[in-house]
Structure 1
Protein backbone atom coordinates (compact mmCIF):
# COMPACT_ATOMS: atom_id res chain seq x y z
CA UNK A 1 0.00 0.00 0.00
CA UNK A 2 1.60 3.26 -1.15
CA UNK A 3 0.35 5.41 1.71
CA UNK A 4 3.50 7.52 1.80
CA UNK A 5 3.38 8.03 -1.97
CA UNK A 6 -0.30 9.00 -1.84
CA UNK A 7 0.32 11.49 0.97
CA UNK A 8 3.25 13.02 -0.90
CA UNK A 9 1.28 13.26 -4.18
CA UNK A 10 -1.77 14.90 -2.60
CA UNK A 11 -0.19 17.23 -0.03
CA UNK A 12 -0.18 20.81 -1.27
CA UNK A 13 -2.51 20.13 -4.19
CA UNK A 14 -5.04 22.86 -5.05
CA UNK A 15 -8.42 22.48 -3.29
CA UNK A 16 -7.17 19.49 -1.30
CA UNK A 17 -6.55 19.26 2.45
CA UNK A 18 -4.70 16.21 3.76
CA UNK A 19 -4.48 15.32 7.46
CA UNK A 20 -2.61 12.27 8.72
CA UNK A 21 -3.88 10.30 11.70
CA UNK A 22 -7.15 12.21 12.08
CA UNK A 23 -9.44 10.94 14.87
CA UNK A 24 -12.72 9.95 13.24
CA UNK A 25 -14.65 10.45 16.48
CA UNK A 26 -14.59 14.13 15.47
CA UNK A 27 -16.47 13.30 12.29
CA UNK A 28 -19.30 10.99 13.43
CA UNK A 29 -22.52 11.70 15.28
CA UNK A 30 -21.68 8.76 17.58
CA UNK A 31 -18.54 10.68 18.65
CA UNK A 32 -16.72 7.35 18.48
CA UNK A 33 -13.88 6.09 16.34
CA UNK A 34 -10.12 5.72 16.06
CA UNK A 35 -7.78 7.36 13.57
CA UNK A 36 -7.77 7.22 9.79
CA UNK A 37 -4.41 6.99 8.06
CA UNK A 38 -5.49 9.93 5.89
CA UNK A 39 -8.40 12.34 6.14
CA UNK A 40 -8.80 14.22 2.86
CA UNK A 41 -11.14 17.13 2.18
CA UNK A 42 -11.73 17.81 -1.52
CA UNK A 43 -13.05 21.30 -2.23
CA UNK A 44 -13.69 20.80 -5.98
CA UNK A 45 -14.55 18.12 -8.49
CA UNK A 46 -11.05 18.29 -9.97
CA UNK A 47 -9.55 17.72 -6.50
CA UNK A 48 -11.90 14.78 -5.88
CA UNK A 49 -11.10 13.12 -9.19
CA UNK A 50 -7.35 13.53 -8.69
CA UNK A 51 -7.56 12.24 -5.11
CA UNK A 52 -9.42 9.08 -6.09
CA UNK A 53 -7.04 8.49 -9.00
CA UNK A 54 -3.99 8.77 -6.72
CA UNK A 55 -5.49 6.52 -4.06
CA UNK A 56 -6.40 3.90 -6.67
CA UNK A 57 -2.94 4.05 -8.24
CA UNK A 58 -1.25 3.65 -4.85
CA UNK A 59 -3.72 0.91 -3.81
CA UNK A 60 -4.85 2.82 -0.73
CA UNK A 61 -8.36 1.80 0.43
CA UNK A 62 -10.72 4.76 0.57
CA UNK A 63 -14.25 5.69 1.57
CA UNK A 64 -16.30 8.87 1.17
CA UNK A 65 -18.28 10.11 4.16
CA UNK A 66 -20.57 13.05 4.82
CA UNK A 67 -21.17 14.10 8.43
CA UNK A 68 -20.93 10.54 9.72
CA UNK A 69 -24.51 10.53 11.00
CA UNK A 70 -25.09 6.82 10.25
CA UNK A 71 -21.52 5.61 10.72
CA UNK A 72 -19.83 3.50 13.41
CA UNK A 73 -16.03 3.60 13.22
CA UNK A 74 -13.94 0.93 14.92
CA UNK A 75 -11.88 1.87 17.97
CA UNK A 76 -8.80 0.92 15.96
CA UNK A 77 -9.78 3.38 13.23
CA UNK A 78 -9.52 2.88 9.48
CA UNK A 79 -6.44 1.75 7.59
CA UNK A 80 -6.87 3.87 4.51
CA UNK A 81 -8.16 7.25 3.38
CA UNK A 82 -11.40 8.91 4.43
CA UNK A 83 -12.54 11.44 1.83
CA UNK A 84 -15.06 14.21 2.45
CA UNK A 85 -16.54 16.88 0.18
CA UNK A 86 -15.78 20.55 0.82
CA UNK A 87 -16.60 24.05 -0.49
CA UNK A 88 -17.64 23.47 -4.11
CA UNK A 89 -20.04 20.74 -3.01
CA UNK A 90 -22.00 22.95 -0.58
CA UNK A 91 -23.77 25.18 -3.11
CA UNK A 92 -27.47 25.89 -3.66
CA UNK A 93 -29.21 27.29 -6.74
CA UNK A 94 -32.80 27.86 -7.88
CA UNK A 95 -34.10 27.62 -11.44
CA UNK A 96 -35.80 30.53 -13.20
CA UNK A 97 -39.29 29.21 -12.50
CA UNK A 98 -38.53 29.12 -8.78
CA UNK A 99 -39.55 25.49 -8.20
CA UNK A 100 -36.41 23.42 -8.79
CA UNK A 101 -33.72 23.60 -6.10
CA UNK A 102 -30.24 22.18 -6.71
CA UNK A 103 -27.90 21.35 -3.85
CA UNK A 104 -24.34 20.07 -3.65
CA UNK A 105 -23.79 16.70 -1.98
CA UNK A 106 -21.68 18.24 0.77
CA UNK A 107 -24.39 20.69 1.86
CA UNK A 108 -26.15 19.97 5.13
CA UNK A 109 -29.62 18.49 4.72
CA UNK A 110 -30.81 20.94 7.38
CA UNK A 111 -29.69 23.83 5.16
CA UNK A 112 -31.56 22.38 2.20
CA UNK A 113 -34.75 22.16 4.26
CA UNK A 114 -34.31 25.78 5.40
CA UNK A 115 -33.54 26.94 1.85
CA UNK A 116 -36.82 25.42 0.70
CA UNK A 117 -38.69 27.20 3.51
CA UNK A 118 -37.02 30.53 2.75
CA UNK A 119 -38.03 30.25 -0.91
CA UNK A 120 -41.59 29.13 -0.12
CA UNK A 121 -41.16 25.61 -1.50
CA UNK A 122 -42.90 22.58 -0.04
CA UNK A 123 -41.92 18.90 -0.17
CA UNK A 124 -39.04 18.61 2.29
CA UNK A 125 -40.83 19.31 5.56
CA UNK A 126 -40.58 15.65 6.62
CA UNK A 127 -36.75 15.93 6.55
CA UNK A 128 -36.53 18.58 9.27
CA UNK A 129 -34.34 17.28 12.08
CA UNK A 130 -32.67 14.57 9.98
CA UNK A 131 -28.89 15.00 10.33
CA UNK A 132 -26.25 14.57 7.66
CA UNK A 133 -25.55 15.86 4.17
CA UNK A 134 -27.58 16.02 0.98
CA UNK A 135 -25.34 13.39 -0.62
CA UNK A 136 -25.81 10.97 2.25
CA UNK A 137 -29.57 11.57 2.33
CA UNK A 138 -29.89 10.88 -1.40
CA UNK A 139 -27.61 7.83 -1.27
CA UNK A 140 -29.65 6.16 1.49
CA UNK A 141 -33.01 7.70 0.48
CA UNK A 142 -33.47 9.28 3.91
CA UNK A 143 -36.94 9.55 5.38
CA UNK A 144 -39.59 7.20 6.68
CA UNK A 145 -41.63 4.37 5.20
CA UNK A 146 -44.24 6.94 4.13
CA UNK A 147 -42.08 9.90 3.06
CA UNK A 148 -38.58 9.86 1.61
CA UNK A 149 -36.29 12.24 -0.17
CA UNK A 150 -36.27 10.29 -3.44
CA UNK A 151 -39.89 11.28 -4.01
CA UNK A 152 -38.84 14.87 -4.74
CA UNK A 153 -35.52 14.18 -6.50
CA UNK A 154 -35.56 15.10 -10.19
CA UNK A 155 -31.90 14.57 -11.11
CA UNK A 156 -28.73 13.20 -9.52
CA UNK A 157 -25.16 13.84 -10.66
CA UNK A 158 -22.50 11.33 -9.60
CA UNK A 159 -18.82 10.62 -10.15
CA UNK A 160 -17.85 7.13 -11.21
CA UNK A 161 -14.16 6.54 -10.46
CA UNK A 162 -12.27 5.79 -13.63
CA UNK A 163 -15.15 6.91 -15.85
CA UNK A 164 -16.16 10.45 -14.86
CA UNK A 165 -19.44 12.27 -14.29
CA UNK A 166 -22.76 10.47 -14.66
CA UNK A 167 -26.26 11.96 -14.74
CA UNK A 168 -29.46 10.19 -13.66
CA UNK A 169 -32.92 11.53 -14.39
CA UNK A 170 -36.00 10.73 -12.30
CA UNK A 171 -37.04 7.81 -14.49
CA UNK A 172 -33.62 6.18 -14.26
CA UNK A 173 -33.64 5.68 -10.48
CA UNK A 174 -36.00 3.49 -8.49
CA UNK A 175 -36.55 4.66 -4.91
CA UNK A 176 -37.78 2.57 -2.00
CA UNK A 177 -37.69 2.55 1.78
CA UNK A 178 -34.01 3.22 2.64
CA UNK A 179 -32.98 2.08 -0.85
CA UNK A 180 -32.35 3.33 -4.35
CA UNK A 181 -30.87 1.90 -7.54
CA UNK A 182 -28.08 4.49 -7.64
CA UNK A 183 -24.83 2.54 -8.15
CA UNK A 184 -23.06 1.92 -4.83
CA UNK A 185 -19.64 2.51 -6.39
CA UNK A 186 -20.46 6.07 -7.48
CA UNK A 187 -20.11 9.28 -5.44
CA UNK A 188 -23.09 11.64 -5.38
CA UNK A 189 -21.97 15.17 -6.35
CA UNK A 190 -25.29 17.04 -6.42
CA UNK A 191 -29.04 16.53 -6.61
CA UNK A 192 -31.94 18.54 -7.99
CA UNK A 193 -35.26 18.67 -6.13
CA UNK A 194 -38.60 19.52 -7.74
CA UNK A 195 -40.78 21.18 -5.10
CA UNK A 196 -44.17 22.86 -4.92
CA UNK A 197 -44.78 26.54 -4.10
CA UNK A 198 -46.68 27.02 -0.84
CA UNK A 199 -47.26 29.60 1.88
CA UNK A 200 -44.25 29.86 4.18
CA UNK A 201 -46.49 29.76 7.22
CA UNK A 202 -48.00 26.44 6.10
CA UNK A 203 -44.53 25.00 5.41
CA UNK A 204 -43.27 26.19 8.80
CA UNK A 205 -46.24 24.66 10.61
CA UNK A 206 -45.66 21.27 8.94
CA UNK A 207 -41.98 21.46 9.85
CA UNK A 208 -42.80 22.30 13.47
CA UNK A 209 -45.22 19.36 13.71
CA UNK A 210 -42.64 17.01 12.24
CA UNK A 211 -39.90 18.28 14.55
CA UNK A 212 -42.17 18.07 17.59
CA UNK A 213 -42.93 14.44 16.73
CA UNK A 214 -39.19 13.67 16.49
CA UNK A 215 -38.50 15.33 19.83
CA UNK A 216 -41.32 13.37 21.43
CA UNK A 217 -40.37 9.97 20.04
CA UNK A 218 -36.57 10.06 19.59
CA UNK A 219 -33.62 10.65 21.96
CA UNK A 220 -32.74 14.07 20.53
CA UNK A 221 -29.51 15.40 22.01
CA UNK A 222 -28.00 11.99 22.64
CA UNK A 223 -25.03 10.83 20.53
CA UNK A 224 -26.32 8.14 18.18
CA UNK A 225 -26.47 7.09 14.53
CA UNK A 226 -30.24 7.49 14.34
CA UNK A 227 -32.23 4.33 13.59
CA UNK A 228 -29.94 1.31 13.85
CA UNK A 229 -32.10 -1.21 11.94
CA UNK A 230 -34.49 -0.93 9.01
CA UNK A 231 -38.13 -1.71 9.69
CA UNK A 232 -39.17 -5.05 8.14
CA UNK A 233 -42.35 -4.95 6.03
CA UNK A 234 -45.36 -4.09 8.17
CA UNK A 235 -43.37 -4.28 11.40
CA UNK A 236 -41.81 -1.72 13.76
CA UNK A 237 -38.26 -2.54 14.82
CA UNK A 238 -38.59 -0.28 17.85
CA UNK A 239 -41.71 -2.13 19.01
CA UNK A 240 -40.10 -5.54 18.53
CA UNK A 241 -36.96 -4.56 20.46
CA UNK A 242 -39.12 -3.13 23.25
CA UNK A 243 -41.26 -6.28 23.38
CA UNK A 244 -38.03 -8.26 23.83
CA UNK A 245 -37.44 -6.27 27.02
CA UNK A 246 -34.34 -4.59 25.67
CA UNK A 247 -35.18 -0.94 26.32
CA UNK A 248 -32.46 0.33 28.64
CA UNK A 249 -30.14 -2.63 27.92
CA UNK A 250 -26.55 -1.46 28.54
CA UNK A 251 -22.99 -2.44 27.76
CA UNK A 252 -20.34 -0.05 29.04
CA UNK A 253 -21.31 3.46 27.99
CA UNK A 254 -23.90 2.29 25.46
CA UNK A 255 -27.63 1.97 26.01
CA UNK A 256 -30.71 0.96 24.06
CA UNK A 257 -32.62 4.22 24.34
CA UNK A 258 -35.54 4.25 26.81
CA UNK A 259 -37.20 6.76 24.46
CA UNK A 260 -37.01 4.72 21.24
CA UNK A 261 -35.64 1.17 21.25
CA UNK A 262 -34.27 1.38 17.68
CA UNK A 263 -31.82 4.05 18.86
CA UNK A 264 -28.61 2.86 20.52
CA UNK A 265 -27.03 5.84 22.26
CA UNK A 266 -23.59 6.80 23.52
CA UNK A 267 -23.93 8.08 27.09
CA UNK A 268 -20.51 9.69 26.92
CA UNK A 269 -18.06 6.87 27.62
CA UNK A 270 -18.93 4.38 24.88
CA UNK A 271 -16.49 2.53 22.68
CA UNK A 272 -17.23 1.19 19.21
CA UNK A 273 -16.84 -2.31 20.65
CA UNK A 274 -19.60 -1.52 23.17
CA UNK A 275 -21.93 -0.34 20.40
CA UNK A 276 -21.18 -3.38 18.23
CA UNK A 277 -21.85 -5.66 21.21
CA UNK A 278 -25.28 -4.10 21.83
CA UNK A 279 -26.18 -4.20 18.13
CA UNK A 280 -25.26 -7.91 17.98
CA UNK A 281 -27.25 -8.69 21.14
CA UNK A 282 -30.36 -6.88 19.84
CA UNK A 283 -30.02 -8.56 16.43
CA UNK A 284 -29.66 -12.02 17.99
CA UNK A 285 -32.51 -11.54 20.48
CA UNK A 286 -34.98 -10.32 17.84
CA UNK A 287 -34.05 -13.22 15.55
CA UNK A 288 -34.54 -15.75 18.36
CA UNK A 289 -37.87 -14.18 19.37
CA UNK A 290 -39.43 -13.39 15.99
CA UNK A 291 -37.35 -15.31 13.46
CA UNK A 292 -36.64 -12.03 11.69
CA UNK A 293 -33.15 -11.14 10.47
CA UNK A 294 -32.88 -7.40 11.07
CA UNK A 295 -30.99 -5.36 8.48
CA UNK A 296 -28.73 -2.63 9.91
CA UNK A 297 -28.94 0.93 8.62
CA UNK A 298 -25.75 1.91 10.38
CA UNK A 299 -22.57 1.60 8.28
CA UNK A 300 -19.49 -0.03 9.82
CA UNK A 301 -16.02 1.27 9.06
CA UNK A 302 -12.77 -0.37 10.09
CA UNK A 303 -14.32 -3.55 11.51
Structure 2
Protein backbone atom coordinates (compact mmCIF):
# COMPACT_ATOMS: atom_id res chain seq x y z
CA UNK A 1 0.00 0.00 0.00
CA UNK A 2 1.39 3.42 -0.98
CA UNK A 3 0.70 5.21 2.29
CA UNK A 4 2.25 2.45 4.38
CA UNK A 5 5.36 2.30 2.21
CA UNK A 6 5.67 6.10 2.23
CA UNK A 7 5.41 6.30 6.02
CA UNK A 8 7.97 3.50 6.39
CA UNK A 9 10.40 5.11 3.93
CA UNK A 10 10.20 8.57 5.51
CA UNK A 11 10.24 7.61 9.19
CA UNK A 12 13.64 8.16 10.75
CA UNK A 13 15.01 10.16 7.82
CA UNK A 14 17.26 13.13 8.63
CA UNK A 15 15.43 16.48 8.99
CA UNK A 16 12.05 14.75 8.58
CA UNK A 17 9.24 14.25 11.09
CA UNK A 18 6.33 11.97 10.21
CA UNK A 19 2.98 11.62 11.97
CA UNK A 20 0.07 9.44 10.92
CA UNK A 21 -3.59 10.44 11.14
CA UNK A 22 -2.75 13.92 12.37
CA UNK A 23 -5.87 16.04 13.01
CA UNK A 24 -5.68 19.07 10.74
CA UNK A 25 -7.89 21.09 13.09
CA UNK A 26 -4.66 21.54 15.05
CA UNK A 27 -2.99 23.15 12.03
CA UNK A 28 -5.63 25.53 10.66
CA UNK A 29 -6.76 28.92 11.91
CA UNK A 30 -10.37 27.69 11.59
CA UNK A 31 -9.66 24.93 14.14
CA UNK A 32 -11.65 22.66 11.81
CA UNK A 33 -10.64 19.55 9.91
CA UNK A 34 -10.28 15.78 10.13
CA UNK A 35 -7.01 13.83 9.96
CA UNK A 36 -4.37 13.74 7.25
CA UNK A 37 -3.18 10.19 6.63
CA UNK A 38 0.40 11.47 6.77
CA UNK A 39 1.72 14.74 8.18
CA UNK A 40 5.34 15.36 7.23
CA UNK A 41 7.50 18.22 8.51
CA UNK A 42 10.58 18.86 6.36
CA UNK A 43 13.34 20.86 8.02
CA UNK A 44 15.63 21.15 4.97
CA UNK A 45 15.51 21.29 1.20
CA UNK A 46 16.97 17.79 0.89
CA UNK A 47 14.30 16.44 3.25
CA UNK A 48 11.61 18.14 1.17
CA UNK A 49 12.94 16.79 -2.11
CA UNK A 50 13.25 13.28 -0.68
CA UNK A 51 9.73 13.45 0.75
CA UNK A 52 8.18 14.52 -2.56
CA UNK A 53 10.13 11.81 -4.40
CA UNK A 54 8.88 9.11 -2.01
CA UNK A 55 5.27 10.30 -2.15
CA UNK A 56 5.37 10.49 -5.94
CA UNK A 57 6.88 7.01 -6.22
CA UNK A 58 4.23 5.59 -3.90
CA UNK A 59 1.45 7.49 -5.74
CA UNK A 60 0.38 9.31 -2.58
CA UNK A 61 -1.40 12.62 -3.08
CA UNK A 62 0.31 15.49 -1.28
CA UNK A 63 -0.18 19.16 -0.51
CA UNK A 64 1.97 21.80 1.19
CA UNK A 65 0.45 23.53 4.21
CA UNK A 66 1.66 26.77 5.78
CA UNK A 67 -0.23 27.82 8.89
CA UNK A 68 -3.61 26.91 7.43
CA UNK A 69 -4.90 30.47 7.73
CA UNK A 70 -6.81 30.47 4.44
CA UNK A 71 -7.99 26.87 4.43
CA UNK A 72 -11.12 24.87 5.16
CA UNK A 73 -10.43 21.18 5.69
CA UNK A 74 -13.11 18.53 5.30
CA UNK A 75 -14.53 16.93 8.43
CA UNK A 76 -13.36 13.61 6.97
CA UNK A 77 -9.81 14.91 6.58
CA UNK A 78 -7.39 14.34 3.71
CA UNK A 79 -6.54 10.94 2.22
CA UNK A 80 -2.99 11.92 1.41
CA UNK A 81 0.11 13.55 2.83
CA UNK A 82 0.34 17.09 4.17
CA UNK A 83 3.82 18.61 3.99
CA UNK A 84 4.87 21.53 6.14
CA UNK A 85 8.16 23.46 6.03
CA UNK A 86 10.34 23.53 9.12
CA UNK A 87 13.59 25.03 10.43
CA UNK A 88 15.62 25.77 7.29
CA UNK A 89 12.65 27.54 5.76
CA UNK A 90 12.12 29.99 8.62
CA UNK A 91 15.35 32.00 8.30
CA UNK A 92 15.97 35.64 7.39
CA UNK A 93 19.02 37.19 5.74
CA UNK A 94 19.80 40.79 4.81
CA UNK A 95 21.72 41.49 1.60
CA UNK A 96 24.82 43.71 1.50
CA UNK A 97 22.75 46.52 -0.03
CA UNK A 98 21.00 46.85 3.35
CA UNK A 99 17.49 46.96 1.88
CA UNK A 100 16.86 43.49 0.40
CA UNK A 101 15.50 41.13 3.05
CA UNK A 102 15.24 37.41 2.21
CA UNK A 103 12.72 35.26 4.11
CA UNK A 104 12.12 31.53 4.11
CA UNK A 105 8.67 30.40 3.01
CA UNK A 106 7.94 28.81 6.38
CA UNK A 107 8.39 32.05 8.33
CA UNK A 108 5.32 33.85 9.62
CA UNK A 109 4.33 37.03 7.79
CA UNK A 110 4.08 38.86 11.11
CA UNK A 111 7.67 37.91 11.90
CA UNK A 112 8.78 39.16 8.47
CA UNK A 113 7.26 42.55 9.27
CA UNK A 114 9.01 42.62 12.64
CA UNK A 115 12.33 41.58 11.10
CA UNK A 116 12.00 44.50 8.68
CA UNK A 117 11.22 46.86 11.57
CA UNK A 118 14.28 45.67 13.50
CA UNK A 119 16.45 46.55 10.50
CA UNK A 120 14.72 49.89 9.90
CA UNK A 121 13.14 48.74 6.61
CA UNK A 122 9.75 49.93 5.40
CA UNK A 123 7.31 48.55 2.85
CA UNK A 124 5.63 45.60 4.55
CA UNK A 125 3.79 47.33 7.39
CA UNK A 126 0.38 46.51 5.88
CA UNK A 127 1.08 42.77 6.27
CA UNK A 128 1.35 42.84 10.08
CA UNK A 129 -2.20 41.60 10.64
CA UNK A 130 -2.26 39.03 7.84
CA UNK A 131 -2.05 35.51 9.32
CA UNK A 132 -0.04 32.74 7.71
CA UNK A 133 3.41 32.17 6.30
CA UNK A 134 5.52 33.95 3.72
CA UNK A 135 5.05 31.08 1.27
CA UNK A 136 1.29 31.05 1.70
CA UNK A 137 1.13 34.83 1.43
CA UNK A 138 3.11 34.76 -1.81
CA UNK A 139 1.12 31.94 -3.39
CA UNK A 140 -2.10 33.93 -2.96
CA UNK A 141 -0.50 37.39 -3.30
CA UNK A 142 -1.84 38.37 0.10
CA UNK A 143 -2.43 41.96 1.05
CA UNK A 144 -5.02 44.67 1.40
CA UNK A 145 -7.18 46.33 -1.23
CA UNK A 146 -4.28 48.63 -2.12
CA UNK A 147 -1.07 46.74 -1.19
CA UNK A 148 -0.05 43.27 -2.41
CA UNK A 149 2.99 41.33 -1.27
CA UNK A 150 4.00 40.46 -4.84
CA UNK A 151 4.91 44.09 -5.52
CA UNK A 152 7.76 43.91 -2.98
CA UNK A 153 9.33 40.71 -4.35
CA UNK A 154 12.79 41.13 -5.90
CA UNK A 155 13.31 37.46 -6.65
CA UNK A 156 11.93 34.11 -5.56
CA UNK A 157 13.14 30.50 -5.33
CA UNK A 158 10.83 27.50 -5.66
CA UNK A 159 11.09 23.74 -5.95
CA UNK A 160 9.38 22.10 -8.92
CA UNK A 161 9.09 18.30 -8.54
CA UNK A 162 10.98 16.57 -11.31
CA UNK A 163 12.84 19.77 -12.23
CA UNK A 164 14.54 20.93 -9.03
CA UNK A 165 15.13 24.52 -7.98
CA UNK A 166 13.69 27.37 -10.05
CA UNK A 167 14.65 31.04 -9.76
CA UNK A 168 12.32 33.89 -10.68
CA UNK A 169 12.61 37.64 -10.88
CA UNK A 170 9.53 39.59 -9.81
CA UNK A 171 8.38 40.26 -13.38
CA UNK A 172 8.70 36.58 -14.33
CA UNK A 173 5.59 35.96 -12.24
CA UNK A 174 2.10 37.22 -12.97
CA UNK A 175 0.74 38.64 -9.72
CA UNK A 176 -3.05 38.79 -9.71
CA UNK A 177 -5.77 39.47 -7.17
CA UNK A 178 -5.26 36.82 -4.47
CA UNK A 179 -3.30 34.63 -6.89
CA UNK A 180 -0.07 34.20 -8.83
CA UNK A 181 0.67 31.99 -11.81
CA UNK A 182 3.12 29.54 -10.22
CA UNK A 183 2.19 25.92 -10.92
CA UNK A 184 -0.01 24.26 -8.30
CA UNK A 185 2.70 21.69 -7.47
CA UNK A 186 5.50 24.27 -7.27
CA UNK A 187 6.67 24.83 -3.71
CA UNK A 188 7.91 28.31 -2.78
CA UNK A 189 11.08 28.04 -0.69
CA UNK A 190 12.14 31.66 -0.13
CA UNK A 191 11.74 35.17 -1.46
CA UNK A 192 13.73 38.39 -1.32
CA UNK A 193 11.86 41.65 -0.70
CA UNK A 194 13.00 45.08 -1.88
CA UNK A 195 12.32 47.53 0.94
CA UNK A 196 13.28 51.08 1.87
CA UNK A 197 15.18 52.46 4.82
CA UNK A 198 13.08 54.57 7.19
CA UNK A 199 13.11 55.68 10.83
CA UNK A 200 12.01 52.84 13.08
CA UNK A 201 9.54 55.05 14.89
CA UNK A 202 7.76 55.87 11.62
CA UNK A 203 7.60 52.19 10.70
CA UNK A 204 6.31 51.29 14.16
CA UNK A 205 3.57 53.91 13.96
CA UNK A 206 2.40 52.60 10.56
CA UNK A 207 2.33 49.06 11.94
CA UNK A 208 0.22 50.19 14.88
CA UNK A 209 -2.21 51.99 12.57
CA UNK A 210 -2.70 48.84 10.49
CA UNK A 211 -3.16 46.71 13.61
CA UNK A 212 -5.64 49.16 15.12
CA UNK A 213 -7.69 49.20 11.92
CA UNK A 214 -7.85 45.39 11.85
CA UNK A 215 -8.80 45.18 15.52
CA UNK A 216 -11.66 47.63 14.95
CA UNK A 217 -13.02 45.91 11.85
CA UNK A 218 -12.20 42.19 12.10
CA UNK A 219 -13.11 39.47 14.63
CA UNK A 220 -9.49 38.68 15.47
CA UNK A 221 -10.35 36.90 18.72
CA UNK A 222 -12.37 34.15 17.02
CA UNK A 223 -11.27 31.25 14.84
CA UNK A 224 -11.74 32.03 11.16
CA UNK A 225 -10.01 31.82 7.78
CA UNK A 226 -9.98 35.57 7.25
CA UNK A 227 -11.93 36.86 4.26
CA UNK A 228 -14.11 34.10 2.85
CA UNK A 229 -14.97 35.61 -0.55
CA UNK A 230 -13.03 37.67 -3.07
CA UNK A 231 -14.19 41.22 -3.68
CA UNK A 232 -15.95 41.31 -7.07
CA UNK A 233 -14.47 44.05 -9.27
CA UNK A 234 -14.62 47.38 -7.38
CA UNK A 235 -17.34 46.23 -4.97
CA UNK A 236 -16.92 45.40 -1.30
CA UNK A 237 -18.22 41.92 -0.63
CA UNK A 238 -18.56 42.54 3.12
CA UNK A 239 -20.92 45.44 2.48
CA UNK A 240 -22.93 43.33 0.04
CA UNK A 241 -23.36 40.52 2.57
CA UNK A 242 -24.26 43.03 5.26
CA UNK A 243 -26.88 44.62 2.97
CA UNK A 244 -28.46 41.17 2.63
CA UNK A 245 -29.02 41.19 6.40
CA UNK A 246 -26.78 38.19 7.01
CA UNK A 247 -24.57 39.41 9.85
CA UNK A 248 -25.15 37.03 12.76
CA UNK A 249 -26.63 34.34 10.50
CA UNK A 250 -25.45 30.94 11.71
CA UNK A 251 -25.66 27.23 11.03
CA UNK A 252 -24.32 24.90 13.70
CA UNK A 253 -21.18 26.48 15.12
CA UNK A 254 -20.46 28.67 12.08
CA UNK A 255 -21.61 32.30 12.10
CA UNK A 256 -21.36 35.30 9.79
CA UNK A 257 -19.41 37.73 11.95
CA UNK A 258 -21.44 40.68 13.29
CA UNK A 259 -18.19 42.68 13.10
CA UNK A 260 -17.26 41.92 9.47
CA UNK A 261 -19.71 40.16 7.18
CA UNK A 262 -16.99 38.59 4.98
CA UNK A 263 -15.76 36.58 7.95
CA UNK A 264 -17.43 33.31 8.91
CA UNK A 265 -16.27 32.50 12.43
CA UNK A 266 -16.09 29.24 14.32
CA UNK A 267 -17.91 29.82 17.61
CA UNK A 268 -16.21 26.73 19.04
CA UNK A 269 -18.20 23.79 17.70
CA UNK A 270 -18.28 24.44 13.94
CA UNK A 271 -17.79 21.65 11.44
CA UNK A 272 -16.58 22.17 7.90
CA UNK A 273 -20.07 21.31 6.70
CA UNK A 274 -21.51 24.15 8.79
CA UNK A 275 -19.14 26.63 7.14
CA UNK A 276 -19.99 25.31 3.67
CA UNK A 277 -23.71 25.67 4.29
CA UNK A 278 -23.29 29.24 5.53
CA UNK A 279 -21.19 30.00 2.43
CA UNK A 280 -23.85 28.56 0.13
CA UNK A 281 -26.55 30.64 1.80
CA UNK A 282 -24.48 33.81 1.43
CA UNK A 283 -23.83 33.06 -2.25
CA UNK A 284 -27.52 32.45 -2.91
CA UNK A 285 -28.60 35.66 -1.19
CA UNK A 286 -25.97 37.82 -2.91
CA UNK A 287 -26.82 36.28 -6.29
CA UNK A 288 -30.51 36.98 -5.75
CA UNK A 289 -29.94 40.59 -4.65
CA UNK A 290 -27.03 41.65 -6.87
CA UNK A 291 -26.90 39.07 -9.68
CA UNK A 292 -23.25 38.37 -8.79
CA UNK A 293 -21.64 34.94 -8.35
CA UNK A 294 -19.29 35.25 -5.39
CA UNK A 295 -15.93 33.47 -5.68
CA UNK A 296 -14.36 31.93 -2.57
CA UNK A 297 -11.04 33.28 -1.38
CA UNK A 298 -10.70 30.42 1.09
CA UNK A 299 -9.07 27.22 -0.22
CA UNK A 300 -10.52 23.74 0.32
CA UNK A 301 -8.84 20.46 1.20
CA UNK A 302 -10.33 16.99 1.38
CA UNK A 303 -13.65 17.70 -0.31
Q: TM class by shorter-chain length? A: over 0.9
- Segments of structure 1 that go 5 or more residues without pairing to the other structure are none
In the alignment, which residue of structure 2 is the partner of 1:200? 200
The Cα shift of 1:182 comes to 2.3
Equivalent runs, 1:91-110 vs 2, <5 Å:
91-110=91-110
In the alignment, which residue of structure 2 is the partner of 1:166? 166
The Cα shift of 1:227 comes to 0.1
1:138–1:149 contact (8 Å) kept in structure 2: yes
In the alignment, which residue of structure 2 is the partner of 1:179? 179
In the alignment, which residue of structure 1 is the partner of 2:53? 53
1:255–1:266 contact (8 Å) kept in structure 2: yes
1:145–1:177 contact (8 Å) kept in structure 2: no
1:141 aligns with 2:141: yes
1:141–1:150 contact (8 Å) kept in structure 2: yes
The Cα shift of 1:232 comes to 0.7
The Cα shift of 1:176 comes to 2.5
Equivalent runs, 1:1-303 vs 2, <5 Å:
2-303=2-303
Mapped to 1, the partners of 2:184 and 2:273 lie a distance apart of: 27
Mapped to 1, the partners of 2:179 and 2:38 lie a distance apart of: 29
Show CA shifts across 1:206-257 (max 9, x none): 1111110000111111100000001011100000000111111000111000
1:41–1:85 contact (8 Å) kept in structure 2: yes
Residues paired across the two proteins, number:
303
The Cα shift of 1:97 comes to 1.7
TM superposition score normalised by structure 2: 0.99
Mapped to 2, the partners of 1:267 and 1:250 lie a distance apart of: 10
Show CA shifts across 1:51-97 (max 9, x none): 01111111111110000000111111110100000000000000112
Mapped to 1, the partners of 2:287 and 2:187 lie a distance apart of: 34
The Cα shift of 1:180 comes to 1.8
Mapped to 2, the partners of 1:275 and 1:229 lie a distance apart of: 13
Mapped to 1, the partners of 2:128 and 2:153 lie a distance apart of: 16
The Cα shift of 1:145 comes to 2.2
Mapped to 2, the partners of 1:285 and 1:108 lie a distance apart of: 36
The Cα shift of 1:283 comes to 1.3
- Segments of structure 2 that go 5 or more residues without pairing to the other structure are none
Mapped to 2, the partners of 1:81 and 1:184 lie a distance apart of: 15
Show CA shifts across 1:131-170 (max 9, x none): 1000000110000221011111111111001111101101
Secondary structure of the residue that 1:128 maps to in structure 2?
helix
